Amino acid sequence: MSEEPAEQQASGGQKPQVVYHYTSMENFLAIVESGSIWTTSIDYLNDVAEYKFYLRLFRKKLPAIRKKFGLNDSSYFEETLSRNLKEVGFEKRPFVASFSEIGDSLHHWRSYCPQGNGVSIGLQMECLKRAFVQPKPGVTTPVIASNKVLYIDKDDMAQMENDVVNAIASLDSIRAGVERSKIKGITQGNIFMHTLDTIACFRKHRTFESEKEFRILVSGNGTAYDHFLFRPRKTTLRPHIPILIPSSVSGYEPSNRRSVLERGDGAWDWIESVVVGPSNNMGLTVQSVAAFLKKKRIDARVVPSTVTFRDW
């Protein structure tokens, strides 16, 4: 059984140097202009069933795991087992932004960039791993985690055992952090439930393995209302928490981010490349995307997709 902390266990191996965020052309402009990406409540994602798949699997496998490892203290598990996910508000659950190790994927173009109007933004991992939520006075700042997604199936007992044992092993260090923050009313069961929720966000069914997904997660602490932004989406209003992404060169901190964005002196290099999705105006679109990045003093490669796909 691995001795790595639960948050490291979620990673599933070495992180890539560049990952790709598929999005519409409209959102691409907003991302570059703001230097931020919006994480989305996991309840509002298309693949929320994967998050629930893992938690259902946990409930099913837990009795055998407790027996095998002698986990007799039921206080670890009571809150996780007794809660009804349908009754837990989205503000108490994680927010997620998704990326892929693959920069030119037919599956992702179909899913995220319909009607020949999208790009995949190649983002430097050196920058993404230092992403942060903008602090607000008097408001608890949500915690960020980032990891590769691990793909499992319903019979993957070894991975579930690893997750549960390492989640318990990490409780002492998490509890110490809670005590330093002087947050009251947090029980052992609360901490385990939060840790398992985090792990669940980095687990998906093995049938999705070809996505090679990487995620950034923002914790839903139930008090982050001042951080919420909303965007209309088909038949609903989707809640988001924006994360700001620093440059790997300048090394600036949140306190002076604004001055770096306004300076526009070429120090902003978090975008490594942009792949323009399948389009009936490919040549013109590549030129205009390259000109837009040049205007923003971002030195990034702009290349056309090689995928044969028509959706216009």
| Per-residue pLDDT at 308 | 84
Domain that residue 156 falls in: 6-304
pLDDT tens digits for 151-181?
A: 999 888 999 999 998 888 887 777 666 666 5
pLDDT confidence tier of residue 75, bands split at 50, 70 and 90: confident
Compare 213 and 140 and report the one with higher pLDDT: 213
Q: Cα–Cα distances in Å, from 291 out to 104, 121, 240, 261, 302?
A: 21, 15, 29, 18, 10
- Asked if residue 163 belongs to a domain, the reply is yes
pLDDT confidence tier of residue 263, bands split at 50, 70 and 90: very low
CB-based contact 201:47 (threshold 8 Å): no
Mean pLDDT within 277-284: 93
- Asked if residue 185 belongs to a domain, the reply is yes
Consecutive H or E run containing 57: helix 48-69
Q: Dihedral of CA 14/20/22/27: which sign?
A: positive
With a cut of 60, say whether residue 102 has pLDDT above it: yes
Q: Total domain count for the chain?
A: 1
Compare 222 and 251 and report the one with higher pLDDT: 222
| Neighbouring C-beta atoms of residue 57, cutoff 10 Å | 22
| Per-residue pLDDT at 20 | 98
With a cut of 90, say whether residue 214 has pLDDT above it: yes
Which amino acid does the sequence have at 170?
Answer: S
With a cut of 80, say whether residue 107 has pLDDT above it: yes
Q: Cα–Cα distances in Å, from 310 out to 26, 116, 211, 289?
A: 19, 7, 21, 20
With a cut of 70, say whether residue 265 has pLDDT above it: no
- Asked if residue 310 belongs to a domain, the reply is no
- Asked if residue 311 belongs to a domain, the reply is no
- The model carries a pTM of 0.85
In the predicted model, what is the mean pLDDT of the chain? 83
Distance CA 33, CA 22 (A): 17
- Asked if residue 160 belongs to a domain, the reply is yes
- Asked if residue 1 belongs to a domain, the reply is no
- Asked if residue 309 belongs to a domain, the reply is no
| Per-residue pLDDT at 191 | 83
- Asked if residue 110 belongs to a domain, the reply is yes
DSSP 82: H
Compare 73 and 47 and report the one with higher pLDDT: 73
With a cut of 90, say whether residue 289 has pLDDT above it: yes
Cα 89 versus chain centre, distance: 19
| Per-residue pLDDT at 126 | 86
Q: Which of 255-259, 280-284, 308-312 has the highest mean pLDDT?
A: 280-284
Residue 237: helix, strand or coil by DSSP?
A: strand
